[in-house]
């Protein structure tokens, strides 16, 4: 199948061809025909599967055929994304797709001057890409109206729920016309997502590429069982084996990742970091240098787990496993993009065995063991009631090569008791 068969406008197909895009991905082949028929769409697909074109091309096609101008301060289509990085990536892609047309794209995100964004919206735009918080700021200032908005897209809707944007979405949605067309895209399908879909979508068509929560097939996954203090040496050893290739390194805390970035720099790696303590300008510069190859290693918290579309990323390291199992899938989705192969390497310390179990349960698959022996968890911790102290987990050597498995019998000699509270992040990204 090619884009001609999907019925897209010739000038839109030409714009895609100029970018070397000639064949639709599976999610595009499934979603675009339904979207062009005016149906609400719920798309379940991993990052890197071509979701932006899946929702963007039908909207652009309809707006090209419409030919009308937006009302002042208005937007004919609204795309909401959870992070600035993802919103910018979507905006860049939509701008490329609309080359040679009368359509205008605007980006509205936090961390950038609001005055320029207000001025940009004065004449209205065809497509508005926004993060929920900044959009509400502009709505409160009466700088944006959504009364003529025909299309609404919620991208990475699961992370919007994780980040607490549900209240913002409930404020924004009633400001759009009742007969709008809505498309919702997500990589995972938690229970709350079903409720969100029921509230925002009307008789949606459900299109799905990978089962929700599962990784892209072209990603080679592995886990190293390694003590926390030994992680740095292992990371340096693995990075050193492919210094000329781009690698992403994910951890939990802003302070920890900044410290790791400086350590890698001292070892001669071309490295940059992005996390919540960085300004938007610093984050944009780090991502630009990474894309251009000036930086080979990008160290990040989960702020970068979505929205980074860099096809050449061959390796993703989970230096620290995420607290939220679904974030593992989003992190490793930064590699094996656009049909390429990629490797996802996880480091698991004894304190992170619970996270590994949760990740494997969410993916419905075990991660192959690359080195070390799985840490055994001996007894589940008792739930605390009131101010009571709970029983910690104990760890011992066990298992062996093969898939990571948190089960098993107590190790000979007992093992060691984990100190209460250790091994959990206390600082958000």
Identify the CATH number of the domain in which residue 237 sits.
3.40.50.300
Tell me, yes or no, if the pTM score tops 0.85.
Answer: no
pLDDT in tens, 132-164: 999 999 999 999 999 999 999 999 888 888 788
- pLDDT at position 336 is 56
- pLDDT at position 264 is 95
- pLDDT at position 421 is 38
Domain contains 427: no
How far is residue 419's CA from residue 429's CA, in Å, rounded to a whole number?
Answer: 24
Domain contains 329: yes
Of the residues 157, 178, 208, the one at which a domain ends: 208
Sorting pLDDT into bands at 50, 70 and 90, what band is 424?
Answer: very low
Domain contains 213: no
Domain contains 429: no
Tokens of 72: 């002042």
Of the residues 184, 208, 232, the one at which a domain ends: 208
pLDDT in tens, 231-249: 999 999 999 999 888 999 9
Same domain, 203 and 224: no
| Domain count within the chain | 2
As to burial, measured by CB atoms within 10 angstroms (0-12 exposed, 13-18 middle, 19+ buried), residue 63 is buried
Domain that holds residue 336: 219-382+390-417
Q: To 10 degrees, the CA torsion angle through 184, 85, 221, 263?
A: -160
Of the residues 177, 208, 239, the one at which a domain ends: 208
pLDDT in tens, 44-92: 877 667 889 999 999 999 999 887 889 999 999 999 999 888 899 899 9
pLDDT in tens, 297-355: 999 988 765 656 676 788 999 999 998 887 888 788 777 555 567 899 999 999 999 99
């Amino acid at each position: 199948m090619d884009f001609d068969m999907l019925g897209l406008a010739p000038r839109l197909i030409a714009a895609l061809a100029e970018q070397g895009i000639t064949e639709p991905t599976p999610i595009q082949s499934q979603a675009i025909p339904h979207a062009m028929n005016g149906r609400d769409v719920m798309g379940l697909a991993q990052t890197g599967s071509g979701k932006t074109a899946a929702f963007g091309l039908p909207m652009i096609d309809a707006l090209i055929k419409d030919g009308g101008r937006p009302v002042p301060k208005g937007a004919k289509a609204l795309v909401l994304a959870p992070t600035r990085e993802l919103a910018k990536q979507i905006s860049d892609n939509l701008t490329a797709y609309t080359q040679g047309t009368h359509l205008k794209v605007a980006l509205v995100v936090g961390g950038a001057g609001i005055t320029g964004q207000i001025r940009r919206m004065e004449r209205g735009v065809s497509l508005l890409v926004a993060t929920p918080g900044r959009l509400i700021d502009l709505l409160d200032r009466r700088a944006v109206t959504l009364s003529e908005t025909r299309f609404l897209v919620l991208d990475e809707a699961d992370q919007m729920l994780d980040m607490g944007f549900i209240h913002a979405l409930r404020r924004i949605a009633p400001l759009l016309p009742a007969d709008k067309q809505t498309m919702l895209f997500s990589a995972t399908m938690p229970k709350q997502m079903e409720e969100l879909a029921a509230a925002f979508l009307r008789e949606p068509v459900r299109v799905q590429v990978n089962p929700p929560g599962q990784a892209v097939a072209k990603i080679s996954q592995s886990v190293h069982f390694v003590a926390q203090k030994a992680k740095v040496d292992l990371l340096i050893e693995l990075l050193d084996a492919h210094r000329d290739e781009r690698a992403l390194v994910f951890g939990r805390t802003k302070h920890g990742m900044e410290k790791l970035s400086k350590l890698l720099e001292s070892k001669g790696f071309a490295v940059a970091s992005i996390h919540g303590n960085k300004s938007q300008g610093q984050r944009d510069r780090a991502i630009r240098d990474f894309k251009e190859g000036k930086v080979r290693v990008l160290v990040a918290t989960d702020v970068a787990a979505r929205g980074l579309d860099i096809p050449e990323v061959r390796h993703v390291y989970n230096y620290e496993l995420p607290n939220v199992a679904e974030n593992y899938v989003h992190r490793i989705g930064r590699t094996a993009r656009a049909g390429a192969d990629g490797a996802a390497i996880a480091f698991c310390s004894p304190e992170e065995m619970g996270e590994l179990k949760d990740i494997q349960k969410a993916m419905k698959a075990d991660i192959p063991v690359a080195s070390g022996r799985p840490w055994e968890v001996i007894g589940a911790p008792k739930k605390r009631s009131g101010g009571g102290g709970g029983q910690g987990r104990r760890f011992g050597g066990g298992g062996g090569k093969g898939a990571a498995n948190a089960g098993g019998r107590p190790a000979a000699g007992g093992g060691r008791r984990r100190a209460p509270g250790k091994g959990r992040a206390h600082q958000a990204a």
